[in-house]
């Protein structure tokens, strides 16, 4: 997947104007917004669309690995534009979700006791706590 001259290209996915606009809005709002927050932000642009269309666009982008869903407890699903392997830290005092990178060279077996031969197809890590105020 590449962004070239403001055009996102995703193998196997036709990037409609609506999908492109939802993706651009998500890229401009990198604090893991919900679909409703993306919808609200788009209402003040040249490309307003229905909430159902926003959900459909996000679903297609998730299915093709362009964005990730972030689920925290019973809160609405939020969306992350960072498609590289990473986890999330949910600051419970502010509700903010931060990306956390995995240390290079650390494997799953370094911190999980998996049976031999286990194949992991997806790893989602969300850590909860509070970040000290600076």
- Banded pLDDT at 4 (limits 50, 70, 90): very low
Chain segment 94-129, per-residue pLDDT in tens: 888 999 988 888 777 788 888 988 888 888 888 899
- For 17, the token pair is 């104007």
Q: Which residues contact 65 (CB under 8 A, 6 or more apart)?
A: 1, 83
Chain segment 48-60, per-residue pLDDT in tens: 899 999 999 999 9
What CA–CA distance (Å, rounded) separates 71 from 68? Answer: 10
As a whole number, mean pLDDT of residues 75-80 equals 91
Chain segment 5-36, per-residue pLDDT in tens: 346 788 888 899 999 999 999 988 878 999 99
Taken as a whole, the chain contains a residue count of 134
């Amino acid at each position: 997947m590449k962004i070239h001259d403001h055009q996102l290209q995703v193998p196997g996915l036709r990037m409609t104007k609506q999908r492109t606009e939802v993706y651009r809005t998500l890229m401009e709002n990198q604090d893991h917004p919900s679909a409703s927050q993306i919808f609200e932000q788009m209402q003040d642009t040249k490309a307003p669309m229905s909430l159902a269309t926003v959900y459909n666009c996000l679903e297609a982008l998730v299915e093709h690995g362009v964005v990730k869903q972030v689920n925290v407890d019973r809160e609405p699903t939020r969306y992350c534009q960072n498609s590289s392997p990473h986890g999330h830290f949910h600051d419970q005092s502010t509700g903010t979700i931060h990306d956390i990178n995995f240390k290079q060279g650390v494997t799953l077996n370094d911190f999980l006791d998996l049976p031999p031969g286990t194949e992991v197809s997806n790893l989602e890590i969300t850590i909860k706590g509070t970040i000290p105020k600076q």
